[in-house]
Amino acid sequence: MTPPTRPAVCAVVLVILLVLTLLTTALAYVPMGAWNPVSALLIAAVKAAWIGVFYMHLRRSSGLVLLFVANGVAMLLLLVGLVFADVAARLG
């Protein structure tokens, strides 16, 4: 199995994740127009990346696993992205 991440590293990642969480909530109260949902989703993606790389051991996974994960993320972005683009275009 992919060698698990050391607890000390896990702790550092946790602190980063908690800071990003507080940042997301705080930014929600700052009027930024369209950047509010965009910044929230970008921070969420960064948090997901930290969890994936360090807690889910992606940084030590085989290329095949990384390919599967990358494909899954790509399909997700394709589905949600194109649905959004379609709806937004119909409204505009």
> Residues in the site for another protein, rule: CB under 8 A?
1-7, 10-11, 13-14, 17-18, 21-22, 24-25, 28-32, 36-37, 40-41, 43-44, 47-48, 51-52, 54-57, 61-62, 64-65, 68-69, 71-72, 75-76, 79-80, 83-84, 87-88, 91
Q: Which amino acid does the sequence have at 48? A: A
Nearest-approach distance from CB 72 to another protein, in angstroms: 4
Judged on CB neighbours under 10 Å (0-12, 13-18, 19+), 54 is buried
Cβ contact 27:36 at 8 Å:
yes
Q: Which amino acid does the sequence have at 41? A: L
